[in-house]
Amino acid sequence: NDGSSRELMSLSGTIPVPYRGNTYNIPICLWLLDTYPFNPPICFVKPTSSMTIKTGKHVDANGKIYLPYLHEWKYPQSDLLELIQVMIVVFGEEPPVFSRPTASSSYPPYQATGPPTSNSYPNYPYTGGVPFPATTSVQYYPPQPPVTTVGPSRDGTISEDTIRASLISAVSDKLRWRMKEEMDRAQAELNALKRTEEDLKKGHQKLEEMVTRLDQEVAEVDKNIELLKKKDEELSSALEKMESQSENNDIDEVIIPTAPLYKQILNLYAEENAIEDTIFYLGEALRRGVIDLDVFLKHVRLLSRKQFQLRALMQKARKTAGLSDLY
């Protein structure tokens, strides 16, 4: 389209197209650009001498093929094999050619103006360089409004109606693609907002659970504080009562055993410990020279005999009371 010439590769052949229970071999030609496979090929229908191009929403009067798959070409998802499969499906719904009438006609035979047989760049509009989202299905492309079938004029040039129909088809494809892109973007934003809403709802529920749990803990703490205050008052009152009673009572009457046997054990234990303390202080007096050795031995002998008797009696009393042995 810029006037430059390039050496390109073309692939020509036929594709089997099922139509109304029969299979027809449709001749096509694929021109591979020097930027292939990153850009789509330029595709043409190459009718034979017995065929005439049927213009429509996918084929113009020159035989150039327009497909959503070509507009949305994206490497490496798009390839020639899948392109041919799409052509078979599309042409099965709307054949690109029909048989030339056998009756004589005053018009000169139509010669399809496709790309030249040489390997120069075909002089047709090319839109494959514009990046579009990749897709491998044509069923998402909404159907176009019917296009009036206009054949070539008598002098072999393209009529204004054909050019207008081709432009309308291209603009419609572009608008549909833009609409689809906006709808996909809006749907993606809507999905993101829904996920955010779900996250916020979950967070709100967790916060409510935390607040409820904190309220329960605060109520439990307040209850424990009141209980501790009550117990503290009871202990303070009991302590004051005990202090007032201890001033008037004998120290020996503070502890009152529950049974006479326990009282006997308590007295024996106290007397035995008193003898133990007496022997200790006699030893201290001997060490300091307050008493001599004979006096020390005399008193220790008497106290030890007394201590032995107390221990034997206490062991017997504990056994009678069902208590464990102390020594």
**Per-residue model confidence as pLDDT tens digits over 12-45:** 999 999 888 888 999 999 999 888 889 999 999 9
Predicted confidence band of residue 193 (pLDDT cuts 50, 70, 90): very high
Q: Do residues 325 and 315 lie in contact, with contact meaning Cβ atoms separated by under 8 Å?
A: yes
pTM for the model stands at: 0.34
Neighbours of 284 (CB within 10 A): 9
Residue 211 has pLDDT above 90, yes or no: yes
The larger pLDDT score, comparing residue 172 to residue 196, is at: 196
Helix (H, G, I), strand (E, B) or coil at 55: coil
Residue 287 has pLDDT above 50, yes or no: yes
The larger pLDDT score, comparing residue 221 to residue 134, is at: 221
Q: Which of 137, 147, 136, 135 is nearest to 172 (CA)?
A: 147
Predicted confidence band of residue 255 (pLDDT cuts 50, 70, 90): confident
The larger pLDDT score, comparing residue 251 to residue 32, is at: 32
**Does 76 sit behind a cis peptide bond, omega within 30 degrees of 0 on the bond before it?**
yes
Predicted confidence band of residue 103 (pLDDT cuts 50, 70, 90): low
Find the mean pLDDT for residues 41-52.
91
Q: Pick the most confident of 111-120, 176-185, 200-209.
A: 200-209
pLDDT of residue 93: 87
Helix (H, G, I), strand (E, B) or coil at 327: coil
d(CA 231, CA 289): 56
Find the mean pLDDT for residues 133-162.
42
Predicted confidence band of residue 260 (pLDDT cuts 50, 70, 90): confident
φ, ψ (nearest 5 deg) of residue 111? -110, 120
| Consecutive H or E run containing 44 | strand 42-45
Q: Do residues 52 and 100 lie in contact, with contact meaning Cβ atoms separated by under 8 Å?
A: yes
